[in-house]
Structure 1
Amino acid sequence: MATSELTTTVEVVSRRMIASGVVELLLAREDGRALPMWSPGAHIDLVLPDGTSRQYSLCGDVGDLRTYRVAILEEPDGRGFSRRLHQEAVVGSTWTLRGPRSHFELAASPDYLFIAGGIGITPLLPMLHQADASGARWKLVYGGRRRASMAFVDELEQFEDRITISPESDHGLLPLDVWLADPRPDTLIYCCGPEPLLRAVEDATRHWPPGALRVERFSPVPSDDDTVDSPFEVELAMSDLVLTVPAGKSVLDVVREAGVRILSSCQAGTCGTCETPVIEGVPDHRDFVLNADERAANDYMMICVSRACTRRLVLDL
């Protein structure tokens, strides 16, 4: 139940531009204590005083708990969060950090194919090191608009023939039809990047075994679904409350209005912060976090976006 997690103040102890439009920050706890353990694929929230936050993948050494490393792409057409970090996250500045958490963990496999687009390299970078340490076979295909805008290219060169760096300016779009033409039952595919790449990889792997592809999204997929939402009830087992969730209002909003504390961040079904255990009922999963098996199990739901297929849900809140 997502009611608490580490929230602390961190200081920027190192800053450098590692590619065009990409800044790398090393963050350490202001109180000098060790940061929480994490695993490849984990991300943190950086939180502004007004409560707005954004998720950034951890891309450093999992064994170094003195600092967290993040790489942030400045998005000129975004909502200003990345621009503010680029301008204000100087050495010595302090920021609120929440997390870490992960719904993009590296499962054990003898063989991996990693596909990165642009800043999507960040969650995959620690995965490469873990796969390498495990003795697994693996390949990385890394695309971007141009080489100068692709982060960590120099760092990746240590892996030599296991990586393919393919800037669009030099080679065009990634040849997914070549890399994904033949399904391999013992291979897991991990992909992170912009939405067009994720959709292209999803389309190109439809003939692969179920569960072979794992993706991470940091923005919701626009929906053309014109389904009309219906009201339903949620019973909060720990709080002894029964609440009505009307059309047009999320479970998260209704639960908070009833005075029940629960964490959330993105409120778009992408970060997993508000993951809540389901005791009874069938959720209408609308998140971008759970995989097909997790959805079918109906053990958890993201209450910021998901609704109900049944007239009542019983939640462990």
Structure 2
Amino acid sequence: MAEESGGHATTLGVRVEAARREAAGVTSYVLTAPDGAELPRWSPGAHVDVHLPSGTVRQYSLCGDPADRRSYRIAVLEQPAGRGGSVEVHRELRPGAAVQIGLPRSNFELVPARRYVFVAGGIGITPVLPMIRQVAASGIEWELVYGARTHGHFAFLGELAAHGDRVRTVPQDTAGVIDLDKLARGAAGAAVFCCGPAPLMDALVDAMAAAGHAGQVHLERFGPVATPVRDAAADDASGPEFVVELTRSGITVPVPRDVSVLDAVRGAGVDIPSSCEMGICGTCETTVLEGEVDHRDDLYTEAERATCGAMLVCVSRACGRKLVLDA
């Protein structure tokens, strides 16, 4: 059953139909509606928020078949040294378990191209799988370069084997790292889609830029881009301490220097949904009615920042002394 906000469904109740080990530390989960009903449509590159029993919310890419309206599939790498979400998934999402998920959404859309080069690192294969399915069905030229620590860390090799030599695996322990400079030089005219650890994606961006193909790269990040240390004087000039007026809630909330807008608003009793809390997922996107935003996210492009009329309240702040938000 879907939970609603303002007359619109925001989450879906689903059941874990099956769980399967796909690689070292990686388990896939098939999710279905409890009554067997069709699930909302999605397109390659989409992800869902998974609301775990503890209240933790984590994002996972949909890696099944978009044409299958009866089930979703996600895959999760267990990271014992992480923030706890992946460990909880592996502990709690057993077959038969009920869980709430958000509606599918995407910041990683498959754009039209004459040729595609897919680059995946480890669990970064998940959003790429449905992209490959769609491109392969269309007959467009494509290739996948897939890196992992060892052969045992490659997930979904059985599915990928059907594509023959279009798929190249690079186990780091025996073959080293992916030669991104060579890949970039051969990527002329191709749309390059990459998901994986930040060092892989950062290196790919640099290699593509060096090869003159910077505009052809599309990324799905697990974490925020490293940013330079901010200048304290610049922070003072831009007004790091400010207030936010929440029009729907009818309150004004002070935001101290060392507190995010999200935490300040929640402290005042107003709940804004969030997931990554690192400025990459868009869950906490909030409409800005007045004021200039100091965008510190890794989601919007510069053009979007100038026109979107919104902010990610988990990381972004005010340039002045006040923001008016639709919250």
Query: If the length of structure 1 is used for normalisation, what is the TM-score?
Result: 0.88
Aligned ranges 1:13-162 → 2 under 5 Å: 13-162=17-166
Is the counterpart of residue 305 in structure 1 residue 305 in structure 2?
no
Q: Structure 1's 141 and 292: CA in aligned 2 closer, same or farther, altered over 3 A?
A: farther
Inter-partner Cα distance in structure 1 for 2:69 and 2:178: 35
Inter-partner Cα distance in structure 2 for 1:315 and 1:187: 41
Inter-partner Cα distance in structure 1 for 2:100 and 2:65: 21
Structure-2 residue corresponding to 1:191: 194
CA contact 2:52–2:89 (8 Å) conserved in 1: no
CA contact 1:216–1:289 (8 Å) conserved in 2: no
Q: Structure 1's 255 and 164: CA in aligned 2 closer, same or farther, altered over 3 A?
A: same
Q: Which amino acid aligns with 2:28?
A: E
CA contact 2:39–2:71 (8 Å) conserved in 1: yes
Q: Percent identity?
A: 48
Q: Structure 1's 160 and 310: CA in aligned 2 closer, same or farther, altered over 3 A?
A: farther
Q: Could you tell me which of 187, 201, 207 is aligned with 2:204?
A: 201
> What stretches of structure 1 of length at least 5 have no aligned partner?
none
Query: 2:224 is paired with a residue of what secondary structure?
Result: coil
Query: 2:59 is paired with a residue of what secondary structure?
Result: strand
Structure-2 residue corresponding to 1:293: 303
Query: 1:101 is paired with a residue of what secondary structure?
Result: coil
- Residues 174-213 of structure 1: per-residue CA shift (max 9 Å, x gap): 00010012563x4322111112212211221224455422
Structure-2 residue corresponding to 1:247: 257
Q: Which amino acid aligns with 1:149?
A: H
CA contact 1:283–1:298 (8 Å) conserved in 2: no
- Residues 67-98 of structure 1: per-residue CA shift (max 9 Å, x gap): 11011112132233323332443222222322
- Residues 43-67 of structure 1: per-residue CA shift (max 9 Å, x gap): 1122223311221111001111211
Inter-partner Cα distance in structure 1 for 2:180 and 2:28: 29
Structure-2 residue corresponding to 1:264: 274
Q: Structure 1's 187 and 311: CA in aligned 2 closer, same or farther, altered over 3 A?
A: farther
CA contact 1:121–1:193 (8 Å) conserved in 2: yes
Q: Structure 1's 216 and 240: CA in aligned 2 closer, same or farther, altered over 3 A?
A: same
- Residues 156-191 of structure 1: per-residue CA shift (max 9 Å, x gap): 12222322111112210000010012563x432211
How many corresponding residue pairs? 315
Structure 1, 6-15 or 215-224: larger mean CA deviation? 215-224
Inter-partner Cα distance in structure 1 for 2:186 and 2:321: 44
Q: Which amino acid aligns with 1:15?
A: A
Query: 2:161 is paired with a residue of what secondary structure?
Result: helix
Inter-partner Cα distance in structure 2 for 1:307 and 1:264: 16
Inter-partner Cα distance in structure 1 for 2:286 and 2:203: 31
CA contact 2:57–2:274 (8 Å) conserved in 1: no
Structure-2 residue corresponding to 1:6: 10
Q: Structure 1's 298 and 308: CA in aligned 2 closer, same or farther, altered over 3 A?
A: farther
- Residues 97-116 of structure 1: per-residue CA shift (max 9 Å, x gap): 22322211112222222110
CA contact 2:52–2:88 (8 Å) conserved in 1: no
Inter-partner Cα distance in structure 2 for 1:205 and 1:92: 45
Query: 1:206 is paired with a residue of what secondary structure?
Result: helix
Per chain length, whose mean CA-contact separation is higher, i.e. which structure has more relative contact order (CA < 8 Å, sep 6+)?
A: 1
Q: Could you tell me which of 273, 293, 300 is aligned with 2:283?
A: 273
Inter-partner Cα distance in structure 2 for 1:105 and 1:92: 32
- Residues 104-139 of structure 1: per-residue CA shift (max 9 Å, x gap): 111222222211000000011111122233443322
Q: Structure 1's 167 and 252: CA in aligned 2 closer, same or farther, altered over 3 A?
A: same
Structure-1 residue corresponding to 2:293: 283
- Residues 139-169 of structure 1: per-residue CA shift (max 9 Å, x gap): 2111111122110112112222322111112
Query: 1:151 is paired with a residue of what secondary structure?
Result: coil
CA drift at 1:244:
3.8
Query: 1:15 is paired with a residue of what secondary structure?
Result: strand
Inter-partner Cα distance in structure 2 for 1:87 and 1:312: 44
CA drift at 1:24:
1.3
Q: Which amino acid aligns with 1:201?
A: L
